[in-house]
Chains A and B, each alone.
Chain A
Amino acid sequence: MKSNKTKTAFKLAALLVTAILSGLASLNAVAAGTASGTTISNQAVLGYTVGGVGQTGITSAAATFVVDNKVNVTVTEGNATFTTVVPGQLAAVTTFTVTNNGNTTQDYALAGANVATAQTLFGLTDNFQTSNVRVFVDSNANAIYEPLLDTATFVDELAANGTATVFVVTDIPLAQVNNDVALVSLTATTHDAGAVGLGALTLDLLAADTVGVDVVFADAAGSDDAAKDGKHSARDAYKVVSAIISVAKTVTPICDPLNGNAFPKNIPTSAVQYAITITNTGSAAATLGQATDTLSAAVLFDPKLNSGALPATNCVSGNVANTLSASGFGAVSGTGATTYAAPGLAAQAVTAGVAVVGQGITIDYPTLVSPATASLLSGVLPAGDFITVYFNAFVQ
């Protein structure tokens, strides 16, 4: 009898408790944790007998407390690589992600800055500072900086576990050269949410717990901030690519009327060949303009690009048999070091883009045409390529 009563009393208590606290043990799938402001309550129910007789169960008062705000934010760089820019480029963009890893909706103030020289990232070393650094929040989550749409300068009302894409936008000075590197950082600082605009700076409570929701900083140290300071930061890099242009001019004896092309001598009536080679050893294509050259008064332009082939008597200006080019110019382009070799080839005869006025030679690269300059399109010399233009002159 007494065991029945005990069991009954306990079962009733258990049923009552179960009814009150339904939905127990529902695992909180949110990584940020229980929302701040949630009240946690614990109650115990005691069952007992006196003299073997089951008694009414006794419930304790509830022990309660409120879940506080665990502030945690992370800033990560967007795509694990640097952004390529050219000298003078305006509004160059690097992309970051700001994540609210805490358990409360927050605003975040944003600050973009240049990182000091000699710092490294992605195997690159910072050696210049960009100008006019600004920060904008991606308004439509497409990770593309659209100046007319992406105008917000702070992250507003980011829920727990939420992410925001942020752009650091800056200008590259015109004086920068190929392989220059600038590192930038983005720092997000936690602010209170709930009001229009950027909320007040969120402060870590140092005094004892109050009845309301208190703040605990739980963030890690970022690239440019400390742990537990309510902030996080990350870095990205800009790398400058540009053309490096070098010009070289060579002169090679072609023939003289006595020896022909067998060991020709630089004597009056001999022909020499000038070759102008432009090489792009940089990382970006270069658009070439014009090159001009003034021949010395001691020489006269050869209008037919004499090949210097024997007999030696063919070594005269205008000789038809030895003509390699009707314009007097040859040109060849390609990758790497120049493949030009004197006396040149008829297959490299230039048919447009050159002019001779008196002693003045003009090469106009955008309009230069030769069967051997296909890699030079409209005067654009790709990175790593060369263009050689050559012509003869007879020593007077």
Chain B
Amino acid sequence: MKTRYPLPVFILFAALCSYAFNTQAATAPIKVSSLAEVEVEVVESGKKIIRRGTPDKAVPGTEVIFTDTFENVSDKAAGDIVINNPIPENMKYKGGSAFCTNCAIVFSADGGKTFDVAENLKLRGADGKLHTALPGQYTHIRWSYQGQLAAGKSGEVGFRAVIN
């Protein structure tokens, strides 16, 4: 004799499955956020110190610190994490400022078509010759996080750019 599950149970099972499915689709396993800050010199207890705050008085020439934070909010380790951040329009990347812990950093100077380390990035100049791209000409930054990001762990990457 075949065992038949009653319809309600079947529906409940299906509902549970879909619920699990929906949970996975509704909440991203990795939370990614981007933050823009500037450094401000303040005087506290008679001493000048640097504090970070929202981009007050963001005018041409202001240097902005962008920090991308990623947090593994799932219960499984995540690997091969790659973060791609285009340099915002109206800004120039500040050479040497890209930071992260435990990752490799490459750049693109051709709109994201090719990525390489800074020394290898070439652009054709007005004279028709290839020149090493200047940091101000970079269009994208890409961080490759080394190893696995365990469940519950987070990491941080970022860079500085100056408003045109």
Contact = CB atoms under 8 A, between A and B. Distances in A.
Given A48-B78, A50-B78, A66 B29 contact: no
Contacts of A208: 54, 56
B79 interface: yes
Interface string B22-60: 000000111011111000000000000000001111111
Interface in A12-42: 13-14, 17-18, 21, 23-28, 32-34, 36, 38, 40-42
A296 B87 CA distance: 100
Contacts of A67: 58-60, 90, 163
Given A34-B163, A209-B54, A42 B66 contact: yes
B82 A18 contact: no
A65 B54 CA distance: 9
Nearest to A69: B59
Given A17-B86, A24-B86, A65 B58 contact: yes
Interface in A42-78: 42-52, 54-55, 58-70
B83 interface: yes
Contact of A46 (B60, B82, B111): B82
Given A21-B86, A44-B83, A63-B66, A50 B77 contact: yes
A47 B82 CA distance: 5
B61 to A, nearest CB: 7
Contacts of B81: 46-48
A44 B60 contact: no
B36 A42 contact: yes
Nearest to B110: A25
B160 to A, nearest CB: 12
Given A6-B80, A41-B88, A216 B57 contact: yes
Nearest to A56: B28
Given A46-B82, A48-B81, A60-B32, A40 B90 contact: yes
A38 B90 contact: yes
A13 B58 contact: no
Nearest to B112: A18
Nearest to B60: A33
B89 interface: yes
A52 B58 contact: no
Interface string B66-92: 101010001011111111111111110
B111 A51 contact: no
Interface string B126-164: 000000000011110000000001000000010000011
Contact of B60 (A24, A60, A70): A70
A17 B35 CA distance: 18
Nearest to A2: B80
Interface residues of B, number: 48
Contacts of B76: 50-51
A6 to B, nearest CB: 5
A103 B163 CA distance: 12
B137 A214 contact: no
A150 B64 CA distance: 45
A159 interface: no
A256 B103 CA distance: 119
B112 A14 contact: yes
Given A63-B35, A68-B59, A34 B29 contact: no
B106 to A, nearest CB: 12
Contacts of B163: 33-34, 40, 67
Contacts of B85: 42-45
A25 B139 contact: yes
Contacts of A49: 78-80
A19 to B, nearest CB: 10
* B66, B70, B82, B136 — most chain A CB neighbours (10 Å): B82
Nearest to A32: B60
Given A6-B80, A25-B111, A46-B70, A33 B164 contact: yes
Interface of A: 6, 10, 13-14, 17-18, 21, 23-28, 32-34, 36, 38, 40-52, 54-55, 58-70, 103, 205, 208-209, 214, 216, 218
23 contacts: A14-B112, A24-B111, A25-B137, A26-B89, A28-B164, A43-B34, A44-B68, A45-B83, A46-B32, A46-B68, A47-B80, A49-B79, A50-B76, A51-B76, A54-B80, A55-B78, A63-B66, A67-B58, A69-B59, A103-B59, A209-B54, A209-B58, A218-B61
Given A34-B60, A46-B70, A47-B84, 14 more contacts: A6-B80, A33-B60, A36-B59, A41-B89, A45-B83, A45-B85, A46-B81, A50-B79, A60-B32, A65-B58, A66-B58, A103-B59, A209-B55, A214-B57
